[in-house]
Structure 1
Amino acid sequence: MLYFSRWKTVLIWAVVLAGVILALPNVFSQDQLVKLPDWLPKKQLALGLDLEGGSRLRLQVDKDHLADTDATIAVLSRRLSELGYTNPNVESQRNGRVLVEVPGLYDSQLLKDILSLTGELSFQMVDPSMPVQQAIDGTPPEGDEVVYSFDDPPVAYLVKQEPLVSNQNFVDAQAGIDTATQQPVITFRLDSIGADRFSKATKAGVGQSFAIVLDNQVLSAPVISEAIPGNTGQISGNFDLSGASNLALVMRAGALPTDVTVIEERTIGTDLGAAAVSSGKIAALIGAALVILFMLLTYGFLGVIASIALVVNVVLILAVLTLFGAPLTLAGVAGIVLTIGMAVDSNVLIYERIREDRRAGFSVIQAIDSGFSRALATIVDANVTTLIAALVLFILGTGPVHGFALTVTIGIVTTLFTTFTLTRWLVSLWVQRSKPKEVPGAPLRLVPNDTKIPFMKLRGLTLGFSALSSIAAIVLFAIVGMNFGIDFKGGTMIEMQSHEGAIDLDDVYSRLDELNIGDVKIEPFKSEDRALITVGSQGEGEDAEQTVGVKIRGEFQDDYDFPRIDVIGPAVSSELSQAGGLAVALSLLAIFVYVWLRFEWHFALGAIIATVHDVLLLLGMFVIFQMEFNLWSIAALLAIVGYSLNDTVVIYDRVRENLRRHGNSMSLSAILDASINQTLSRTILTSLATFLALIVLYVYGGDDVRSFALTIAVGIVVATYSSIFVAGPLLMLFGLKGRDVIDDQPPAAVSEQNGA
């Protein structure tokens, strides 16, 4: 295990060098990159909208016109281009959904107004042959229809269905101010067909009116005073200059082929995004520094090697994200910080094996070689279980959950690479050059060697406590219920920041009450000039949720800015809740299958029961303290699922090893006690290292990240408890015997174990 051929050495360092080169542009500014040689990579890490600032909208195409989704995307893209956005992301999703992401957005309401407007504009002659009220009460003449104006109350018009001109006839449109009336107008230009038709119609219809109809509502109905020759004209109507500009833009870009509805909005200001980037950098640097210091204190020189591998690990994660253009989100930063804490687990497993084998009488070189070889299967099993949870989260997740799953998945792969190539190569180099006589010591030893704690004597108490706690969590969930955030129940969340001075919360409550928008909650921030408004779901469809945001912004925009706006409609919230539950269930099922294939049914069932126990206790915590349960909570739960399985698999792997070795000479209780004691140091050290990273996340993260870090921190305590006091005793409850393990192995494996 400690020998490396030349080509392997070259390959290892080629990967490391490539990672450094790909990640290096991220430490330079754009101005500095321009001055670098052209042969160097200059691609930088893409930032998600929550770090860069911008808006993410999800639109629903009318269900009866799903075939028009590709054409809808083309019109939306043209409208965004007309708005001046050169790098928006517009992509089709399943079931007629369209995702629109616009970085650096300055006005999310304008974006929604522009994108959701169908934009069907036409000029239609008003029919004076019948009073409009008679047409309403009876039947309009053939070829006519009744259309209402935008006025309040609306005015009815009887118009010809056949338009004089429509969208395809408009070549250009610009908003401006009429010098005579000082009112906003739209100056338009028609193509030759539209100009000829409009000229003939106005010549024949002098003294009559024609209606300017937008999305089946009348903007205005001017009287034709004289023939209008040429291909230009003006539109005036019930709109201000901003409305005129919007309509002119839509006229230039074209009408949507079908109606679209905004079903989700997530907007964050650029200043808030920049603050998140700054805090994320600090969290990552301090988290890495604390974990490195911890490894140096607990493993001495071997800790130095682990720290080098850790730094390379982070560099490789950034390099992969940069190479494939995957955006780094705030949740992704949280995933990197968590990976920093968990990445040392592989090194801890190896180093503890080395110490254990050295105490058993192995020479230093034998202990090091054995430590790497015997820890291999355990590390792979532990990381695969975490990888399964991350992949399920990546496939089913969206928003912050997706970004977290992506970085954790990449982090697992890079961790396995650095552990079994770079770390092993560095240790091999040290052994060859230093020819050590002893395994390096360390100034800090948290767990004594050869502990003999009788864990199984406590199994009745611990299993009883866990069973009662799990039942209590289920009862509380059924009676009290969860405090679901808007991700899962729909609603509106708006962060407000006053233009000047502290926020007057009483005034805000009073003004919100007058808007008649249902249940409202206001949470103040540490900063007195900011507050978070949460409005429950209106229960009246997608448009009702969007109306809430419009009302709040209209009421407070003169006094406040809105750094963050989230509006979740009922369709999206329902899907998110279903996907969240499905993600947890599928993760547990996939891990159960994997553990069953790798071990025996006793182990698979024990691992899943212990993990379900952890999930139930965490859900109980959310119920008792009424913590908001949102997408970040799902990410935290699945992180704990992976961590818990990781912890349990490490112990179970040692149990299986000891069963093969001592199954006929030791009781199962003694084997379980020995296995847990032998892995106790690894369990505690890994938990502490991860805790250090979580502390930094909690201190420097925002509200969502802070709740995420707290959930995982509590989850680690619960997972550590269950892997020791629940997973082990369950094997006794299932009646596991050494012969079960030996009989399950291929003949060669049995012979090898017997020979050992």
Structure 2
Amino acid sequence: MLQIDLWKRVLIWALVVAGLVLASPNLFYSRVEQHNDAVKAIEASGATPEREAQAAAWPSWMPSNLVNLGLDLRGGAHLLAEVKVADVYKARMDALWPDLRDVLRPERETVGTVRLQPSQPGELRVRISNPEGMTRALELVRGLAQPVVSLTGAGTSDIEVAGQGSDIVVTLSEAEQRATDERTMQQSLEIIRRRIDEVGTREPTIQRQGTDRILIQVPGVGSAAELKDIIGTTAQLTFQPVVSRTSDAETSAGVGNEVLPSLDEQGTYYVLETAPVVTGEELVDAQPSFDQNGRPAVSFRFNPSGARKFGDYTAANIGNPFAIVLDEEVISAPVIQSHIAGGSGIITGNFTVEEATNLAVLLRAGALPAGMDFLEERTIGPELGQDSIEAGKLATGVAFALVLAFMFFTYGLFGVFANVALILNIGLMFGMLSLIGATLTLPGIAGIVLTVGMAVDANVLIFERIREELKTARGPARAIELGYEKALSAIVDANLTTIITAVILYVMGSGPVRGFAITLGLGIVTSVFTAIWVTRLMIVIWFERRRPRTIEV
């Protein structure tokens, strides 16, 4: 007999209602979007009357997840950046100089004096005054080598040391360069993602392309220049010893030193040691705050390693100035008054509250390990995205109307049941997209249009099978039951192959291809559910009430 248990009926309608409720925020997109933005702003920096009004525009007990609109629908910015990985080689060599100097200093009687020489980028060249001690010097410097931390470089050292006359030349090994490149790219990807997430943009696309390039697409950003401002600020914080102070930008710094301008004092320059005592990489927290005079500032805290180095240096250099450098500008150069233990401090300057907040965000996100060249930049206006949305709506609407008309004129009342299930199918699809926070792009809209056409395939198989069973005069109830049972294998086979295709597209593809795969895969799941269970339940309910002796499919 044609029967469905009560618990199954309750479960089917509960799933349908849950899917429609999850999809409902998309009918009030701008209102819910403002509500979500206001809630995030209140959590981040406190409530204001305006934010509270925007947050109240959507009931807090209702779902507020939306289907995010991709770059091609919402408008936004597109950048292709090339990471200058060679910068990291130079930084590594600069940081190695103090260790090399300290390891050779106790052997002065053997190697003589040690002087840093002008070096090519990516190498460290040091001259010893006693060439006869070169063998001992090379032995000591090679002791600084560390094993390469990578699968491909296992068993090799990170540096190569060679003697050239009176010079010791240190370079990164080839295995270490490959490992460094990989770490640099991964770190750049993570930092860019954290910076973009901090400013509240939605569903950015941040992907590695090739060996040293990063693709960045951010919907909702006004221009590529705005996106570059978010990403391009390196926020490289260092604490460096001060050699001297001058008003001449052309002052000769000397080997191992550099001349940097003061941020607050125009015309003032500082000669600093290139090798920093502590870097921003050793920060564990940075928060906007106020100094003792009530001016905006940024408080910071180091990890144990940074705290130890910071404390040791301040204890040994009381009375000497100490420069705080941000992006190659000296923002402060206070004199060390006492031993600073605990690894905490405060950065003061002529900051506004907004500048202090942004600086804290950048410091928390971390410094980019290397500079970037922007090879390609595009701004996609929201009007282009709106045109895409309207075109997508038109295509979906036309496909939807034609399918509804075909099903009604071909299968009559049973076609109406299929049409209701198709409408519910679209709602369930958007509910699932909202639940997982998926991003909808133009290919995604194509996946929805394709799903509309494919959604009735299962119903067509079922209805045609019911027609065949009616010809054997088994009675309408038995014909409907057999129609569903015998069409099930064909429905599963047809949709399983499509699901496999969607999975392959998702795994092997990227960006828009993945968006198409997600909408296609979810559409198949919801269409099979509505065809096998929802239409069957509607037919059962209708049959129980009417008890027809004959049916026309």
Aligned to 1:284: 396
CA separation of 1:250 and 1:66: change in aligned 2, threshold 3 A: same
Task: Give the letter for the 1:332 counterpart.
Answer: G
CA separation of 1:166 and 1:394: change in aligned 2, threshold 3 A: same
Task: Give the letter for the 1:106 counterpart.
Answer: G
| Contact 1:167–1:254 under 8 Å retained in 2 | no
Aligned to 1:28: 28
1:393 aligned residue (495, 502, 505): 505
1:51 is the counterpart of 2:73? yes
Shift in Å at residue 372 of structure 1?
1.5
Aligned to 2:225: 109
Aligned to 1:271: 383
Give the alignment's Cα RMSD to 1 decimal: 5.3
Aligned to 1:349: 461
SS of 1:55's partner is strand
Counterparts of 1:384 and 1:69 in 2: how far apart (Å)? 38
CA separation of 1:354 and 1:168: change in aligned 2, threshold 3 A: closer
Counterparts of 2:259 and 2:461 in 1: how far apart (Å)? 78
CA separation of 1:399 and 1:264: change in aligned 2, threshold 3 A: farther
Map Cα deviations across residues 656-687 of structure 1 (whole Å, 9 max, x no partner). xxxxxxxxxxxxxxxxxxxxxxxxxxxxxxxx
SS of 1:322's partner is helix
Greater relative contact order (Cα < 8 A, sep 6+) = 2
CA separation of 1:337 and 1:39: change in aligned 2, threshold 3 A: same
Task: Give the letter for the 2:8 counterpart.
Answer: K
Aligned to 1:647: none
Map Cα deviations across residues 82-131 of structure 1 (whole Å, 9 max, x no partner). 8x546575878798886755331112134236525656588997999xxx
| Contact 2:505–2:513 under 8 Å retained in 1 | yes
Q: How does 1:194-213 map to 2 (within 5 A)?
A: none
Identity %: 40
Equivalent residue pairs, number? 388
Aligned to 2:438: 326
CA separation of 1:267 and 1:167: change in aligned 2, threshold 3 A: farther
1:308 is the counterpart of 2:433? no
Shift in Å at residue 405 of structure 1?
0.7
Shift in Å at residue 277 of structure 1?
2.6
Counterparts of 2:24 and 2:256 in 1: how far apart (Å)? 68
1:402 is the counterpart of 2:514? yes
Task: Give the letter for the 2:368 counterpart.
Answer: L
Shift in Å at residue 254 of structure 1?
6.0
Shift in Å at residue 26 of structure 1?
1.9
Shift in Å at residue 427 of structure 1?
1.9
| Contact 2:77–2:222 under 8 Å retained in 1 | no
Higher share in helix? 1
1:380 aligned residue (477, 481, 492): 492
CA separation of 1:314 and 1:251: change in aligned 2, threshold 3 A: closer
Aligned to 2:9: 9
SS of 1:28's partner is helix
| Contact 2:503–2:521 under 8 Å retained in 1 | yes
Shift in Å at residue 45 of structure 1?
2.6
Map Cα deviations across residues 293-338 of structure 1 (whole Å, 9 max, x no partner). 1111111111101101101111110111111211222221211111
Aligned to 2:62: 40
| Contact 1:116–1:262 under 8 Å retained in 2 | no
1:432 is the counterpart of 2:454? no
Map Cα deviations across residues 498-528 of structure 1 (whole Å, 9 max, x no partner). xxxxxxxxxxxxxxxxxxxxxxxxxxxxxxx
Counterparts of 1:375 and 1:349 in 2: how far apart (Å)? 6
1:339 aligned residue (451, 455, 464): 451
Map Cα deviations across residues 405-439 of structure 1 (whole Å, 9 max, x no partner). 10110111111111111111222223333333444
Task: Give the letter for the 1:41 counterpart.
Answer: P
Aligned to 1:76: 192
Map Cα deviations across residues 213-267 of structure 1 (whole Å, 9 max, x no partner). 978xxx99xxxxxx99899889xxxxxxxxxxx9999799764223456677675
| Contact 2:189–2:208 under 8 Å retained in 1 | no
Task: Give the letter for the 1:107 counterpart.
Answer: S
| Contact 2:188–2:368 under 8 Å retained in 1 | yes
Shift in Å at residue 53 of structure 1?
2.2
| Contact 1:80–1:88 under 8 Å retained in 2 | no
| Contact 1:167–1:255 under 8 Å retained in 2 | no
Counterparts of 1:77 and 1:11 in 2: how far apart (Å)? 40
Counterparts of 2:298 and 2:8 in 1: how far apart (Å)? 69
Counterparts of 2:259 and 2:60 in 1: how far apart (Å)? 65
Q: How does 1:559-638 map to 2 (within 5 A)?
A: none
CA separation of 1:79 and 1:325: change in aligned 2, threshold 3 A: closer
SS of 1:398's partner is coil
Counterparts of 1:337 and 1:266 in 2: how far apart (Å)? 28
Task: Give the letter for the 1:52 counterpart.
Answer: R
CA separation of 1:14 and 1:167: change in aligned 2, threshold 3 A: same
SS of 2:68's partner is coil
| Contact 2:444–2:519 under 8 Å retained in 1 | yes
Shift in Å at residue 278 of structure 1?
3.3
Q: TM-score, normalised by structure 1?
A: 0.42
Counterparts of 1:351 and 1:213 in 2: how far apart (Å)? 71
Task: Give the letter for the 2:552 counterpart.
Answer: P
| Contact 2:408–2:416 under 8 Å retained in 1 | yes
Higher share in strand? 2
CA separation of 1:438 and 1:114: change in aligned 2, threshold 3 A: same
Map Cα deviations across residues 425-476 of structure 1 (whole Å, 9 max, x no partner). 22222333333344426xxxxxxxxxxxxxxxxxxxxxxxxxxxxxxxxxxx
Q: How does 1:220-259 map to 2 (within 5 A)?
A: 255-259=367-371
Task: Give the letter for the 2:518 counterpart.
Answer: L
Q: How does 1:634-673 map to 2 (within 5 A)?
A: none
Q: Structure 2: which 5+ residue stretches go unaligned?
A: 36-55, 86-177, 261-270, 289-296, 301-309, 337-346, 351-357
